[in-house]
Structure 1
Amino acid sequence: MDVTIEKLTNDPHPVLARLRQEAPVAWVPALGGWLVTRHDLAVRVMRDPVGFTVDDPRFSTARVVGPSMLSLDGNDHARHRGPFAPAFRPAEVRSRFADFVSATAGDLVDRMRPAGSGELRRQVAGPLSVAVVAEVLGLQVDPAVVLKWYDAIVDAVQGVTAGRPVSQAGADAFARLADGVRSTRRTGSLLGEVAGLRDNEVVSNAAVMMFGGIETTEGMITNAALHVLSCPDEVDDLADAVEESLRLEPAAAVVDRYATQDVELAGSLVQQGDLVTVSIAGANRDPAVFADPDTFDVHRPNARQHLAFAHGPHACLAADLARMETRAVLKALLGLPDVMIAQPAQPVGLVFRKPPELWLRWRV
């Protein structure tokens, strides 16, 4: 089967459906590795950090920000992740961040209100995700500065993935983030509560929380708004709508692992060292788990079986915070009179999927 980067980027779901049926573990030359598209196999790979690891020299993020919970497995992973986990439990998220998230989302939407139209991703979803990351990390800098750091570090990671050395701009941005994190730890904040990690380890983990908190949350908010505003009369529970949106179009479409040994997976022989890419987008539309999987159904009884936040030891630490941000934006948007989608929009992207723009309009 001809599986191209273009197809996986622009309209992956027909390709993923055929692969899921014919070859649920398929060697894809365009990716340089295996692509897993079935729900049960995706869970198997993500729950087995011994057989399928993230701890590999090809994992480019670690080369830019250093080892972190994102790029370690086993005891090292637990040591890096464990100190952060208590702050992201549901009750802690509500007590620490609910007021800030609600107020910030409402303020961003209110700023658009007088114009009668606006572009959601750049005017609301992106600014909210950056502001929340700055608040979570306790950084005493303008969120716009945090976004510049983030952009430079992401560019550096993409450059390393393409075989280039770490850029000077990326290194400088990471150094400024490190200074901000160390200052934050002295003033007392979530990062100041983290015990058992060295300063450089706290900085590395702060950087990967910045990745997760900005890119994927921005996409999650934008995708959910696209889905909900395409059928607003059907939505009576925002929490259910968010879960179904996550299932239908996860903002992070794939996660990568590396095989630590030869293993047979659904009849395919995966060799030690091979890249194994789990298609979250494919697994989330597996008809063996989700009836009528290509339909947005806010009443789907098992929508929460989606894998949008990954699974196993690397499941997203801040999933409840991202959900909170998305619900806050949807609530604010639905308060706009006769709000609707102004222009056709479609999620795109190989790794991170979201509409490039989502223009809305409402009655003033």
Structure 2
Amino acid sequence: MQTPRDVTLAELAGPDAAAALARLRAHAPVTRLAELDGWLVTGHAPALAVMRDAAHFTVADPRFSTARVVGASMLSTDGAEHRRHRRPFAAPFRAAELEQRFGGEVARLATGLVARLRPARAADLRTEFAGPLSTAVVAHTLGLRDIDVPTVLGWYAAIVAAVTALSAGDRPTGEEIAAMRDLAVAVRGGLGHDASSVLTGARGSLRDDEIVANAAVMMFGGIETTEGMIANLVTHLLADPAALDRVRVEPDLVPVAVEESLRLEPAAAVVDRYATADVVLAGAAIAAGDLVRVSLAAANRDPAVFDRPDEFELDRANSRSQLAFARGPHACIAMDLARLETRVGLGALLDGLPGLRPVAPAAAAGLVFRKPAAVRVHWDF
């Protein structure tokens, strides 16, 4: 059976990507795409299998562009080396400790942003709320106390641009070198002095340059995916007035709405692995060295797992079976902090912006990271 010829990477990056992914999944849960020069996994079961099997599907490959920019980290290593990088950061991100450790600061930042927005009676909530909130929280958790949001965003943009250039086979401009140098100075300045930083406990287990590399990874993930999470959740609720009304009057539904939004439109749409040996996955014969891209977005809409997969449903019983934060050894270490930010952020918006409603429909797009270009809203004063 041949691959559906009408599915392109451009379509997979567009607002109607779910339909294209469904066609691929109906064809086969693991499909070779010539344009990708690798395999795309669209089924929930094989997606889990790949992410849980670091022995056969690894991130430790020289083609992994992030490591070439920031250095070796928990994101780009496997096995014992991965555990060495990840272990020092596990305790600060435990769900049981997050509320006490970061909840007050996240609430302060979210309510402050809403208070500054409120008099204008209109805003783009992606760039004026979700982005600044996620950036400020990253700066706080990494102990970057004296660094303002625009500076952190500048470092982030330079690193992202370098990773993007390498992924496309181009040469970075060199701005990432200055960004990593400045980030290293800021991180080293806080080590040992800021007990609330998630980085402080890593000293002694990792070298300073390794702590900086992991800080860059957490900065990237904390800004990009959390901004997308908040923007996507607001977009889903504004497009469904009945669901929005339920969430307003039933605050206990906020965590449910977060999980369902993650399922329907994960902010990080794919994760990449490389086959370490010839292996058969869901009937597909994958060769050693092949790129295996797991579509979290497709797996999260697999009808074998989720009924009515294209609908946003607050009463869905298995939303937490979604794979938005990956699974296995590389499951997102800060997933519960991202959930906390999204819950608190939504609460601040609903409490502080009465009559919140969209100016125009919004839709997520992007091949690797998916979020709307803008979430334009207005409200009563």
Shorter-chain TM-score tier: over 0.9
Gaps of 5+ in 2: none
User: What is the CA–CA distance in structure 1 between the aligned matches of 2:291 and 2:190, rounded to whole Å?
Assistant: 37
* Shift in Å, 1:165: 3.5
User: What is the CA–CA distance in structure 1 between the aligned matches of 2:56 and 2:232, rounded to whole Å?
Assistant: 33
Q: Of the candidates 253, 256, 259, which is equivalent to residue 272 of structure 2?
A: 256
Output the TM-score relative to the length of structure 1.
0.98
The residue aligned with 2:377 is: 360
What do the CA deviations read for 1:226-272 (whole angstroms, capped 9, x no partner)? 11222212333100000000000000000000000001112111000
The residue aligned with 2:70 is: 65
What does residue range 201-240 of structure 1 map to in structure 2 within 5 Å? 201-231=210-240, 232-235=244-247, 236=250, 237-240=253-256
SS of 1:242 mapped into structure 2: helix
The residue aligned with 1:182 is: 188
CA contact (8 A) 2:126 2:374 kept: yes
Residue 55 in 1 paired to residue 35 in 2? no
The residue aligned with 1:137 is: 142
Residue 8 in 1 paired to residue 12 in 2? yes
User: What is the CA–CA distance in structure 1 between the aligned matches of 2:25 and 2:200, rounded to whole Å?
Assistant: 45
* Shift in Å, 1:167: 2.9
* Shift in Å, 1:106: 1.0
Percent sequence identity over aligned pairs: 56
The residue aligned with 2:164 is: 158
Residue 198 in 1 paired to residue 215 in 2? no
The residue aligned with 1:146 is: 152
Output the TM-score relative to the length of structure 2.
0.94
User: What is the one-letter code of the residue matched to 1:315?
Assistant: A
What do the CA deviations read for 1:305-363 (whole angstroms, capped 9, x no partner)? 00000000000000111011111111112122211111111100000000000001111
What do the CA deviations read for 1:201-238 (whole angstroms, capped 9, x no partner)? 10100000011100011000000011122221233310
User: What is the CA–CA distance in structure 1 between the aligned matches of 2:114 and 2:295, rounded to whole Å?
Assistant: 33
SS of 1:188 mapped into structure 2: coil
CA contact (8 A) 1:213 1:322 kept: yes
CA contact (8 A) 2:161 2:172 kept: no
Number of matched residues?
A: 364
SS of 1:83 mapped into structure 2: helix
The residue aligned with 2:282 is: 266
CA contact (8 A) 1:64 1:166 kept: no
User: What is the one-letter code of the residue matched to 1:117?
Assistant: A
User: What is the CA–CA distance in structure 1 between the aligned matches of 2:200 and 2:88, rounded to whole Å?
Assistant: 11
* Shift in Å, 1:90: 1.0
* Shift in Å, 1:166: 4.0
User: What is the CA–CA distance in structure 2 between the aligned matches of 1:171 and 1:98, rounded to whole Å?
Assistant: 33
CA contact (8 A) 1:257 1:277 kept: yes
Cα RMSD, aligned residues only: 1.0
User: What is the CA–CA distance in structure 2 between the aligned matches of 1:311 and 1:212, rounded to whole Å?
Assistant: 16
Gaps of 5+ in 1: none
Q: Of the candidates 296, 299, 311, which is equivalent to residue 280 of structure 1?
A: 296
User: What is the one-letter code of the residue matched to 2:208?
Assistant: D
SS of 1:309 mapped into structure 2: coil
SS of 2:371 mapped into structure 1: coil
What do the CA deviations read for 1:267-324 (whole angstroms, capped 9, x no partner)? 1110000000000000000111110000000110100000000000000000111011
The residue aligned with 2:344 is: 328
User: What is the one-letter code of the residue matched to 1:354?
Assistant: K
What do the CA deviations read for 1:181-210 (whole angstroms, capped 9, x no partner)? 111104233222214101111010000001
- Of 90-99 and 43-52, deviating more is 90-99
Q: Of the candidates 116, 127, 134, which is equivalent to residue 121 of structure 2?
A: 116
- Of 73-82 and 87-96, deviating more is 87-96
User: What is the one-letter code of the residue matched to 1:111?
Assistant: R
CA contact (8 A) 2:239 2:361 kept: no
User: What is the CA–CA distance in structure 1 between the aligned matches of 2:141 and 2:291, rounded to whole Å?
Assistant: 33
